[in-house]
Amino acid sequence: MATEYAYAKVNLTLHVTGQRSDGYHLLDSLVVFCGIADVLHATPAQVTSLVLQGPFAKDIPADCDNLVLKAARLLQPGLTATFTLTKNLPPASGIGGGTADAAAALRVLLRLARETLPIATAEALAAGLDRDTLLSLGADMPVCFAAHPARMRGIGERLDWLPALPETHIVLVNPRVEVPTPLVFKALALPHG
């Protein structure tokens, strides 16, 4: 079994600088990751499956719409696993929880691939995870995959890595009101650019 952590993503700054003709908003953001996380365990298996647990398990889909399973499909048929996701981060709260879960799934599967598959097969799986493939799981997927402080621009595909920042204590408050990111961006009235 292998374990990965899906750390909460916090935008310390978030500037919306425009909107593309396809509807995606252009961003300029300083992104960091907190010490709180969802926890994902994976065990190689014949068929990919997902078990949900934790305080927010009932609030996310357990079927093919779950981002963990969508991420795992990107690496199939090369590797399949049974996942157990402990959902500690509230969904639709603006902290990248679902995308971080998908990133953790890719990281854990690539680790398992290096341990269980021929090296050429494992390398081919990793090579298939280019930036466009990552973006298919969400605009903040590239930064969540790395889980490292960055300046994120464009729709999330332009990353300038930052040195580790000093430890900072912040308080995240979630009033248990879902604020789905697509709805927030849809409410912005910006010219296409």
Q: Is the dihedral of CA 76, 77, 79, 84 positive or negative?
A: positive
**Residue 70 is a catalytic residue:** no
| Of residues 108, 126, 132, the one with CA closest to residue 38 | 108
Say which of 38, 87, 101, 140 is annotated catalytic.
140
Say which of 9, 38, 87, 101 is annotated catalytic.
9
| Of residues 43, 10, 49, 7, the one with CA closest to residue 29 | 10
Whole-angstrom Cα distance, residue 39 to residue 4?
A: 6
Whole-angstrom Cα distance, residue 159 to residue 157?
A: 6
**Residue 130 is a catalytic residue:** no
Q: Which residues are catalytic?
A: 9, 140
